A and B are shown apart, each in its own frame.
Chain A
């Protein structure tokens, strides 16, 4: 997440990874102020399922780095 390794339980979803990364970010994600993108620049929904080694990036709605 944002180039920081997050170790999380098997079966976790994107929102879980964000919570493990930062509770503040998770709250902003829930409020719709943050969005999650994959390494290819596609938006990933918060309920998306994870694969090992997946790279995700949090961005503010204005596309500023979180």
Chain B
């Protein structure tokens, strides 16, 4: 009996050792996988050479290094966004950095479906998203997930998810996503929970914002990690929610995230994450530095958008040009521009270049449109006047007169249309302004407003290209009178 037991135990040891050997063969020794992650780069190309150098350095010493983006690679730098082949420089540089995969962010759609298709084709890495269906549109349908291989049958599934706003689309101009059907990200992600069972390791590469990432982790503990974007949150120490590690790295490539997984038998047995400030990196890929320089010296900016027949001087003339661009291009009744947002004193007679326009309007403000009644417009003008103790808002589509007490206080506002008639108090007008005014000025407006996807500068460029010549000599649409 004793002998039989010994044989049985020996047999078990042999069996276990074979099993262990077999598992080793499948999974090998514990492996270290490094995932470099960035989000919301917003076309800020200047730090990509440092990222490339870091990634290459790690690749020399680690066999499994992946480089991922959690979306919003575009929008935020004219040398990427305003070139003829919109977005091309960003993908070119991302290709050279060796990106593995990118999620779709809302600003990917800013390119427009046709342009975005070109960028997807240009990219040597896939863009993934599980919660939209582009069937029947110009946009090529992306895959919902990508499976990374870390040798010896170790697989890491990466699932892409995008945020939706209260209108059920990503935050971009609605015209950019025409025909695309979007679905709730968390609901859709749950349909892919089988990825964890099949591949053993699951990462969410999301563009949802930190608050939704937390909700996603609460709903899906299957995730080993959520690499997020959209809210531009700097998570210096990784958050743990429902057993899921959540990371995000601010924006504009100021930080790079570095996740390290220890993987045994196809499962993550240890995970850590660190945030590397780009300022802490002192070496850069020299070829990419040169290429960035080339993109930054873009001839596009010396191109002529239009001609000033006479020089434009002062807030009235420059502001009238800027607001006329809004009313003309957006086909709204009125437009406003605050004086603080007019950043040059004059534009000389002659050619107006793209660079001139970005100097005149450098803030990258988007346009917000409202439906407003005359009384609401008066409250806006009155607030602005009291704020600046004088005429602040330049206008298009109408003229206005402020009556003041001589101490910088507005006593009343009169609004006149182009034929000098008072505005109809019962009518609702469409009004455009930059997002700075929309956000920071206190005025009555029943309509909360809708933001567009283009900047005021971009609108001015398109306006000048269309009208070709402008002349604003002596234009003055806002006046003040002091009540004795």
User: Which residues of chain A come closer than 8 Å to B368, judged between CB atoms?
Assistant: 9, 11
Flag B166-179 by CB within 8 Å of A: 1 or 0 each: 11000100000000
- Complex: A10 Cα to B42 Cα, angstroms: 19
A20 engages B439 (CB within 8 Å)? yes
Is there a chain A Cβ closer than 8 Å to B470's Cβ? Answer: no
* B209 touches which of A43, A45, A51 (Cβ 8 Å): A51
Say yes or no: A48-B232 contact (C-beta < 8 A), given A7-B448, A10-B167, A12-B451.
yes
For A49, give the chain B residue with the smallest CB separation: B230
User: Which residues of chain B come closer than 8 Å to A13, judged between CB atoms?
Assistant: 435
User: Which residues of chain B come closer than 8 Å to A43, judged between CB atoms?
Assistant: 233-234, 236, 250
- Residues 228-268 of B contacting A (Cβ, < 8 Å): 230-236, 239, 248, 250-252, 254
- Complex: A59 Cα to B230 Cα, angstroms: 21
* A51 touches which of B231, B234, B236, B438 (Cβ 8 Å): B231
Is there a chain A Cβ closer than 8 Å to B112's Cβ? Answer: no
User: Which residues of chain A come closer than 8 Å to B451, judged between CB atoms?
Assistant: 9-12
User: Which residues of chain B come closer than 8 Å to A60, judged between CB atoms?
Assistant: none
- Complex: A10 Cα to B210 Cα, angstroms: 18
For A15, give the chain B residue with the smallest CB separation: B439
Describe A's contact surface by its main secondary structure: loop
Flag A13-52 by CB within 8 Å of B: 1 or 0 each: 1111101100100100000000000111011110111111
Q: When A and B form their complex, what is the total count of cross-chain residue pairs whose Cβ atoms lie within 8 Å?
A: 109
Q: How far, in Å, is A33 (CB) from chain B's closest CB?
A: 17
Is there a chain B Cβ closer than 8 Å to A66's Cβ? Answer: no
Say yes or no: A38-B210 contact (C-beta < 8 A), given A12-B439, A47-B252, A54-B231.
yes
For B255, give the chain A residue with the smallest CB separation: A45
* B440 touches which of A7, A20, A39 (Cβ 8 Å): A20
User: Which residues of chain A come closer than 8 Å to B439, judged between CB atoms?
Assistant: 8-9, 12, 15-17, 19-20
B448 engages A53 (CB within 8 Å)? no
Say yes or no: A44-B230 contact (C-beta < 8 A), given A7-B448, A11-B366, A53-B211.
no
Taking A10-B165, A13-B435, A49-B231 as given, write out 13 further A-B residue pairs in contact, using a Cβ cutoff of 8 Å, ordered by the A residue number.
A9-B450, A10-B450, A11-B165, A11-B366, A11-B450, A16-B439, A16-B440, A42-B248, A44-B231, A44-B232, A47-B232, A50-B209, A54-B231
Q: Give 8 pairs: A residue, B residue, CB < 8 Å, sorted on A.
A: A10-B449, A10-B450, A11-B366, A11-B452, A16-B439, A42-B236, A44-B232, A45-B251
Q: Give the A-binding residues of B (Cβ under 8 A).
A: 42, 76, 106, 163, 165-167, 171, 208-212, 214, 230-236, 239, 248, 250-252, 254, 366, 368, 435-436, 438-440, 448-452
Of all A-B residue pairs in the complex, the 6 with the closest CB atoms, nearest first, are A11-B451, A48-B232, A19-B440, A16-B439, A9-B449, A45-B232
